[in-house]
Structure formats: structure tokens, C-alpha cells
């Protein structure tokens, strides 16, 4: 489709103009902070009052500046901390299905958003792989499509930003303990409030901690998670703030089987089209299957409002992450005659990452034409450096034989770790990213029109050291290593507008571009490819009726993806070559809305229809017109939060949610019998009942009984993983 006219018009317009809460018995209000403990917020921070129960009226992720969601020219979704607590978000990534077009992260870290995989994750606006926990997460903001390129390189899917809680001037303490599910227990705490002063500098702190242990329906599988966080905020005499945040997280696990197997003939090496969900909880790895994670992060953020016009945010971030995988591979092959699973390579696989980043946001908030035009001009400069070291080892298959796993008498015996001496992969990668972003936003026509145009430039330099790779059968050299260096650069423009047709209804449209640097998927033996790029449109209506108690977004999108890595055969030489030539298309419709019916009842709903298709995939000509793997066409959700005060039970609160996920092809591009196998649709019900009371003037208590998958439905995820059975949980919370 021709995207240039609207882009040119929006750019010209922007640049030309630039010349639900429950009752008090359920959730009592906090005491107001003393006047000298009020912390001034800059335009880069969402105010706490903008997060009301399940409802959020502002977002900082969509524009890097706190902006009313109803004024944005594209779609942004926000999940509040209260929603995370009420719906038992023990694993933040896996519980995101309440968001339109988003499939939650699976056990391999995969997710899809608007039909595309590879969704990026941020923590407080910085790119970070690692663990996040609800105990110190204030909200989760999802920006969809290429609009996410305001943060630099990204997939066309968009990104998910986990925003941490900040210290406040109001003292508060929370302790919660939860038990249930598969021998699961969890303890978590927050301690917040003034820390004292040093001269005229006032300090505030927020301490967070969490410990969780759980077993699994799969024998041997278990998980242990730990988290510690400390945030100290200094309010300086001039009103500026300096925030220091420290986070440490650890996750140790004996892994469960991740994928439901197909029936497979080991003799003829052929798949059937029959999935075996009944084997989804069989342990293929046994007790010696390790998947451990540990990460440490430090953030520094300085916020300063210089005057009514100028504001600045300067941030820095440092992280270190270690991951270790051993014997975590599972097979999707089960031979019903031999009653045996296929066995992949058993790897000793450590991964270490570290790095840091710095960014500077400068905002000018000004007016012209005697105040008729209001402008926000944002300039962002950022730099990041990341290191990754990965080494995979196997045993000498001529010395050690690791047999397949038999269903009836599984033998989990493995050689000792010291026997894994043959290096089959050794990569050392450093990549440096320099970015600059300029955005002009103008509000005109007495606030009815908001127009923006933005342009970002990124330069990513990769330094690769690929080590020699050896054959596991005897240790002979398979592929010699090499050292390479190259730079990927790109411009990412965006533009759009939001026009209020009436006081309560607005129309929005935007166009944006994004890129994924080729170095992100570079492999030994492959040439340097061109960047993967995407172009996307967002358009639709946003409404805010009944004094903003009923708000919704109804919109569509159209995203084209170019330069996907694929394999083509040279017509002259007949040799297969890896090239950046694949193309894909995703278009769809989304609805997300919230309705605060009254002070006791809040409803939320989402609905999405995704039409994602492969347009070109090199030699794989039969993939044309196919849906990408793991992408359901339809999703929907409905949630509610109801204080039972009208029934004479003001201390009781009932919440619940229904999530529908349509069918998907987990192996849509396979060339065998798996190709047309679908997972089938699923409807899952989650619910909870809370009872709250007070003792004295300060202590607040809450007991909560909840269930995930209340009806105990058997279902498969879009990637053919076995869905969790019913889990029942009991939680006690003490606050003051």
C-alpha cells in the first residue's frame, strides 16, 4: 500500500505547527504524605494517581514522556500492579494473554505480538534480558508494532517495558505469603518510606524481596526463585531527584518437558500427524536437567525540571547475567512401537552477558501563537555496550553413548560434567549501539488535534569472535573459527496524529518504521546480511465516555516485514545461499476497553483478530500464504473486579477473568506431517475471592483464595506446550 502521502502530511503538519478501585473497606486510602515529603514528578514519570486499580490513564513507554493514553496516535496497553496481584502473576512473562494480540512468553522465551515473534523486553526503558518480578514492578507497558523503534533496534512485533516501583514519601509496609498449586509457596515484602535527610537533601527508600519454591506435575521438575531490590531516591533542594536502584534475581530449575511430542517412526524417521498430550508431563531429562539464571542490575536516574519549559532525564544502567543450561533439550519424537523418545544432543551450555547503557532525554514544553499551539520537543541521545560469551560442549559420542529415553523404564544416566570436553560452539560477541532520537509533538485546535513526527538514527557495531567448532564424534575440526566486525545502521521515521472528533471520541493514525540489525542473528559460516526492516500503520478510534469511566481503543494495523533471513538456491551454481530476502505481512483488528460501572465494579475486555502470513521464504515456496508458527488468528479476554458491598458484604471482593485463544499451527512451515496439525482453541477461567479487614488505625489484612484454570481444562498453547492444570492458591497480606 502507498504509505507516503499520510507520512508526508503528518510530518509536514507536525513540523509546521512546531514552527477499578473497590470500596474503602476493601482498599483503604493511604494517609497523605506531609507537604515536605511530596516528591515533584517530572514529565518523564507517570503519576501514582494515574494508576487506579486495573485502570491506567497514562503511559511513558509510548513516547518516552508521560502522555495520556487517549491522546496517543497508536495502541499502548498497560497492566497495573493491582491487576498482577489479583490475577496471580507469579511469572510475569507467561501471564500476558489478557493483552490483545500478545501471546505470553513460553518456557523457551518465545512470544508473539501482532503475528510476529521476537518481542523485545525493556526494564525502565533499557534493553535487558533477565528476570522480572511483580513485587517491585509498578506496571507493564506494551507498545505494539514498529512504533517501538523510538527505543532503537526492535522487531516489528513491538516491545514490553517492565516499569519498576519508585520510593514515595508515604510510609507503607507490605508482607504477603502465598501457598498452593504444585507444592508452591511464595513470600514477598515491600518496605517504603522516608529514610531521613542529610542537610537539605531528603532520602526515601523502597526495599523489595521475594522467595518462591514450586514443584511441577512433571516428575523431578522444580523451580526456585529469589529476588532482592533496593531503591533509594534523593530529593535535592532544587526539586530534582536522583534515583538509585539495585536488583538481584536468581532462578534455579530442574526443567519440565517443554513440548508435547508427535508420534514418530524412529526406523523410517517420519512424523505422523498425531500429537500426544498424554505424554506432556513425562520427564525426558530426568533429575539432572538444569536451567539456572542469575542477574544483577543497577540503575541511576536523574530527573530535573529546570523551569516551565525545560526538563531533563539522565539515566545509566549496568547489568550482569549468567545462564547455565545442561541437558535441557527435549524431543518432539515419540515412537509408539518402541515406546521410546528421540534424543537430541545433550549440551553443557553456559552463557554470560554483561554491559551497560546511558541515555539523556531533554524535553522542551513550550507554546506559540499566543498559546494556541502547544509543543513538546524531545531529543534523546543514548549509547549502550553489551558483551555475550557462550560456549557449548558435548561428550565424545565414540566414547559415551547417551541412549534414547524409554517410556516404561527411562534411563537418565549421563556422563559427568567433566566428560563434556568437545567444544561444538564458542562465540564471543560485543556490540555497541549509538542512537539519537528527535520527536516533535504539537497540540492545536484547543487540544483537539495532537500531531507528531519523529526520526531516530541508530548505528550498531558488532565484533564477533567465533571459535573453532569440533565434531562431537571424535572431536575433529568441523568449522574453523573467524573474527569479524561490521556495522549496521538505519533511520527509523515515525509520524501520526490524534484528532478529537468530539469531546469523547478521537480518530488516530500513524506510520512508523523499525529495523533489526543483521548481526543479532549472525552465525558462523554465514555472510553479512542486510538489516531486517518493517513498515507499519496504526489507525482507529479512541473513546472516553462517562467522565472517563468508560474508555476503549478500537483500531487496526498493517505491518510489512522485509529482509527476513532465508535460504535461496543460486540458479547458476545450484548452491544454496543464506540471504535477507524473506517477506511477511501482518494485519488485524484490536479492541481493548475498560468500564468502571460504579465504585464497586470494574470491567475490562480485549479482542484481537490477527491475519499474519508468509509472502516469500526463498526455497520454501510452499510456505507462501502460510500462517507463521505459533500464531493464533483470534484472542479475547474479559475480566472483572467487584466489591460485594451492594450485597451487604463490603469486605469481600471478587475478581475473575476469561481468556480465549484461537487455534494455531505449532509447526506451520514443516515439510512433513506436522505441517497441518493445529493446537485447537482454548478458554481458560481464572478467579479469586478476597476478604479484607482492619485492626486498629494502621493494620490492614487481606485473605485471598484464587484459582487459575478454574475448570481444569486440558489445553495446548499455540506452540504445542501442555497448558497448566488447575492451581488453587491461598494468600495472606498484611499492610500498614
Q: 79-116: per-residue pLDDT in tens? A: 999 999 999 998 876 677 889 998 865 444 457 899 98
Q: Residue 26: pLDDT above 50?
A: no
Q: Which of 388, 521, 351 is nearest to 465 (CA)?
A: 388
* Residue 147 DSSP code: G
Least-confidence region, from 346-355, 520-529, 587-596: 520-529
| Cα 117 to Cα 157, 504, 508, 558, distances in angstroms | 6, 35, 26, 16
Least-confidence region, from 567-576, 616-625, 655-664: 567-576
Q: Please give the pLDDT value at position 52.
A: 57
Q: 412-469: per-residue pLDDT in tens? A: 888 888 999 999 999 999 999 999 999 999 999 999 999 999 999 999 999 999 988 9
Which whole number is the average pLDDT over 521-528? 78
CATH class of the region 4-187+196-735: mainly beta
Task: Say which residue the cell 506496571 belongs to.
Answer: 139
Q: Please give the pLDDT value at position 329.
A: 81
The answer to whether the beta carbons of residues 454 and 494 sit under 8 Å apart is yes
- Cα 578 from Cα 619, distance rounded (Å): 10
Q: Is the dihedral of CA 38, 39, 44, 46 positive or negative?
A: negative
Band (666; pLDDT cuts 50, 70, 90): very high
| Cα 142 to Cα 59, 88, 157, distances in angstroms | 10, 19, 10
The answer to whether the beta carbons of residues 655 and 643 sit under 8 Å apart is no
Listed in sequence order, the residues at least 6 apart from 390 whose beta carbon sits closer than 8 Å to its beta carbon are: 349, 350, 351, 352, 425, 426, 427
- Cα 486 from Cα 549, distance rounded (Å): 52
Mode of pairing for the β-strands spanning 505-516 and 532-545 = antiparallel
Q: Residue 573: pLDDT above 60?
A: yes
- Cα 567 from Cα 576, distance rounded (Å): 6
The answer to whether the beta carbons of residues 461 and 439 sit under 8 Å apart is no
- Cα 140 from Cα 46, distance rounded (Å): 12
Q: Which of 214, 131, 202 is nearest to 168 (CA)?
A: 202
CA 710 to chain centre: 25
The answer to whether the beta carbons of residues 519 and 427 sit under 8 Å apart is no
- Cα 42 from Cα 46, distance rounded (Å): 9
Q: Which of 161, 160, 147, 9 is nearest to 555 (CA)?
A: 147
Q: What is the CA radius of gyration of the chain?
A: 26
More reliable by pLDDT, 32 or 492: 492
More reliable by pLDDT, 2 or 716: 716
Least-confidence region, from 147-161, 237-251, 553-567: 147-161
Q: How many helices (H) and strands (E) does the chain have?
A: 2, 41
Q: Please give the pLDDT value at position 16.
A: 35
Task: Name the 3-class secondary structure at 24.
Answer: coil
Q: Which of 264, 280, 260 is nearest to 272 (CA)?
A: 264
Q: Please give the pLDDT value at position 20.
A: 30
Report H helices in 574-702.
Answer: none
Band (10; pLDDT cuts 50, 70, 90): very low
Q: Is the dihedral of CA 46, 47, 51, 55 positive or negative?
A: negative
Q: Give the DSSP H or E segment for 574.
A: none
Q: Burial of 314 by CB count in 10 Å (0-12 exposed, 13-18 middle, 19+ buried)? A: middle
Mode of pairing for the β-strands spanning 112-113 and 477-479 = unpaired
Q: Which of 539, 678, 552 is nearest to 607 (CA)?
A: 552
Band (578; pLDDT cuts 50, 70, 90): confident
Q: Give the DSSP H or E segment for 537.
A: strand 532-545
C-alpha cell read off for 88: 496471580
Q: Residue 198: pLDDT above 60?
A: yes
More reliable by pLDDT, 719 or 451: 451
The torsion of the CA quartet 613, 615, 620, 621, rounded to 10 degrees, works out to: 110
Which whole number is the average pLDDT over 224-238? 96
Which whole number is the average pLDDT over 174-201? 94
**What is 78-89 written as a DSSP string?**
EEEHHHHHHTT-
Which whole number is the average pLDDT over 238-266? 91
Q: Residue 28: pLDDT above 60?
A: no
Listed in sequence order, the residues at least 6 apart from 506 whose beta carbon sits closer than 8 Å to its beta carbon are: 70, 71, 498, 499, 500, 541, 542, 543
Q: Please give the pLDDT value at position 296.
A: 95
CA 693 to chain centre: 35
Q: Please give the pLDDT value at position 48.
A: 56
Band (575; pLDDT cuts 50, 70, 90): confident
Q: Please give the pLDDT value at position 94.
A: 66
Q: Please give the pLDDT value at position 126.
A: 87
The answer to whether the beta carbons of residues 38 and 357 sit under 8 Å apart is no
The torsion of the CA quartet 726, 21, 599, 498, rounded to 10 degrees, works out to: -100
What's the whole-number average pLDDT of the chain? 88
Band (473; pLDDT cuts 50, 70, 90): confident
The answer to whether the beta carbons of residues 184 and 215 sit under 8 Å apart is yes
Which whole number is the average pLDDT over 120-129? 84
Q: Please give the pLDDT value at position 508.
A: 96
Q: Residue 680: pLDDT above 70?
A: yes
Band (631; pLDDT cuts 50, 70, 90): very high
Listed in sequence order, the residues at least 6 apart from 588 whose beta carbon sits closer than 8 Å to its beta carbon are: 101, 114, 115, 556, 557, 608, 609, 610, 611, 612
Neighbours of 545 (CB within 10 A): 13
Mode of pairing for the β-strands spanning 262-265 and 333-335 = parallel
Mode of pairing for the β-strands spanning 348-368 and 333-335 = unpaired
Which whole number is the average pLDDT over 217-246? 95
Q: E-assigned strands of 677-719?
A: 682-695, 699-708
Amino acid at each position: 500500500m502507498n504509505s507516503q502521502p499520510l507520512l508526508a502530511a503528518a510530518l509536514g503538519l507536525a513540523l509546521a505547527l512546531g514552527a477499578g478501585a473497590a470500596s474503602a473497606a476493601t482498599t483503604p486510602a493511604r494517609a497523605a504524605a506531609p507537604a515536605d515529603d511530596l516528591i515533584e514528578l517530572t514529565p518523564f514519570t507517570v503519576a501514582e494517581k494515574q494508576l487506579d486499580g486495573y485502570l491506567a490513564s497514562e503511559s511513558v513507554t509510548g513516547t518516552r514522556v508521560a502522555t495520556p493514553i487517549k491522546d496517543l496516535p497508536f495502541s499502548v496497553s498497560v497492566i497495573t500492579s493491582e491487576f498482577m496481584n489479583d490475577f496471580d502473576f507469579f511469572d510475569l512473562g507467561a501471564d500476558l494473554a489478557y493483552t490483545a494480540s500478545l501471546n505470553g512468553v513460553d518456557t523457551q522465551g518465545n512470544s508473539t505480538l501482532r503475528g510476529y515473534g521476537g518481542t523485545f523486553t525493556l526494564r525502565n526503558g533499557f534493553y535487558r534480558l533477565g528476570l522480572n518480578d511483580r513485587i517491585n514492578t509498578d506496571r507493564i507497558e506494551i507498545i505494539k508494532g514498529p512504533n517501538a523503534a523510538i527505543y532503537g533496534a526492535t522487531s516489528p512485533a513491538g516491545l514490553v517495558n517492565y516499569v519498576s516501583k519508585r520510593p514515595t514519601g508515604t510510609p507503607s509496609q507490605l508482607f504477603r505469603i502465598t501457598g498452593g498449586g504444585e507444592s508452591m509457596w511464595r513470600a514477598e515484602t515491600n518496605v517504603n518510606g522516608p529514610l531521613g535527610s542529610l542537610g537539605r537533601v531528603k532520602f526515601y527508600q523502597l526495599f523489595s524481596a521475594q522467595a518462591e519454591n514450586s514443584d511441577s506435575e512433571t516428575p523431578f521438575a522444580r523451580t526456585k526463585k529469589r529476588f532482592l531490590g533496593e531503591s533509594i531516591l534523593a530529593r535535592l533542594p532544587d526539586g530534582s531527584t536522583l534515583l538509585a536502584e539495585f536488583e538481584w534475581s536468581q532462578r534455579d530449575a530442574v526443567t519440565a518437558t517443554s513440548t508435547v511430542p508427535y508420534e514418530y517412526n524412529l526406523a523410517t524417521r517420519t512424523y505422523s500427524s498425531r500429537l500426544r498430550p498424554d505424554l506432556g508431563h513425562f520427564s525426558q531429562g530426568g533429575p539432572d536437567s538444569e536451567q539456572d539464571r542469575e542477574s544483577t542490575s543497577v540503575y541511576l536516574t536523574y530527573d530535573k525540571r529546570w523551569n516551565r519549559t525545560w526538563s531533563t532525564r539522565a539515566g545509566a544502567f549496568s547489568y550482569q547475567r549468567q545462564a547455565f543450561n545442561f541437558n535441557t533439550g527435549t524431543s518432539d519424537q515419540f515412537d509408539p512401537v518402541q515406546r521410546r523418545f528421540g534424543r537430541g544432543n545433550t549440551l553443557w551450555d553456559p552463557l554470560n552477558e554483561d554491559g551497560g547503557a546511558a541515555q539523556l532525554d531533554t524535553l522542551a514544553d513550550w507554546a506559540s501563537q499566543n498559546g494556541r499551539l502547544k509543543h513538546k520537543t524531545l531529543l534523546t541521545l543514548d549509547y549502550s555496550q553489551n558483551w555475550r560469551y557462550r560456549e557449548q560442549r558435548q561428550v565424545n559420542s565414540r566414547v559415551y553413548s547417551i541412549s534414547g529415553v524409554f517410556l516404561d523404564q527411562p534411563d537418565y544416566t549421563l556422563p559427568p560434567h567433566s566428560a563434556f570436553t568437545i567444544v561444538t560452539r564458542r562465540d564471543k560477541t560485543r556490540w555497541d549501539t549509538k542512537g539519537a532520537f528527535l520527536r516533535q509533538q504539537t497540540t492545536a485546535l484547543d487540544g483537539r488535534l495532537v500531531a507528531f513526527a519523529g526520526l531516530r538514527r541508530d548505528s550498531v557495531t558488532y565484533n564477533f569472535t567465533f571459535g573453532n567448532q569440533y565434531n562431537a564424534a571424535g572431536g575433529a575440526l568441523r568449522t574453523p573459527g573467524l573474527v569479524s566486525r561490521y556495522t549496521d545502521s538505519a533511520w527509523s521515521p515515525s509520524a501520526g496524529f490524534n484528532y478529537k472528533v468530539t469531546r469523547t471520541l478521537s480518530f488516530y493514525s500513524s506510520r512508523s518504521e523499525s529495523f533489526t540489525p543483521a548481526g543479532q542473528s549472525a552465525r558462523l559460516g554465514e555472510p553479512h546480511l542486510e538489516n531486517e526492516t518493517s513498515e507499519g500503520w496504526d489507525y482507529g478510534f479512541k473513546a472516553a465516555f462517562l467522565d472517563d469511566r468508560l474508555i476503549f481503543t478500537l483500531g487496526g494495523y498493517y505491518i510489512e516485514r522485509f529482509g527476513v533471513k532465508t535460504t535461496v538456491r543460486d540458479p547458476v551454481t545450484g548452491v544454496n545461499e543464506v540471504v535477507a530476502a524473506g517477506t511477511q505481512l501482518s494485519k488485524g483488528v484490536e479492541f481493548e476497553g475498560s468500564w468502571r460501572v460504579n465504585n464497586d465494579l470494574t470491567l475490562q475486555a480485549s479482542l484481537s483478530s490477527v491475519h499474519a502470513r508468509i509472502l516469500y521464504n526463498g526455497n520454501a515456496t510452499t510456505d507462501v500464504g502460510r500462517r507463521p508458527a505459533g500464531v493464533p488468528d483470534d484472542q479475547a479476554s474479559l475480566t472483572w473486579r467487584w466489591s460485594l458491598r451492594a450485597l451487604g458484604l463490603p469486605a469481600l471482593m471478587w475478581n475473575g477473568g476469561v481468556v480465549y485463544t484461537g487455534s494455531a499451527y505449532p509447526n506451520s512451515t514443516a515439510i512433513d506431517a506436522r505441517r497441518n496439525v493445529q493446537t485447537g482453541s482454548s478458554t481458560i477461567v481464572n478467579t479469586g475471592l478476597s476478604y479484607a479487614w482492619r485492626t486498629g488505625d494502621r493494620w490492614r489484612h487481606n485473605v485471598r483464595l484464587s484459582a487459575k484454570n478454574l475448570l481444569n481444562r486440558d489445553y495446548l498453547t499455540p506452540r504445542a506446550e501442555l497448558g497448566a492444570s488447575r492451581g488453587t492458591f491461598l494468600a495472606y497480606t498484611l499492610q500498614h
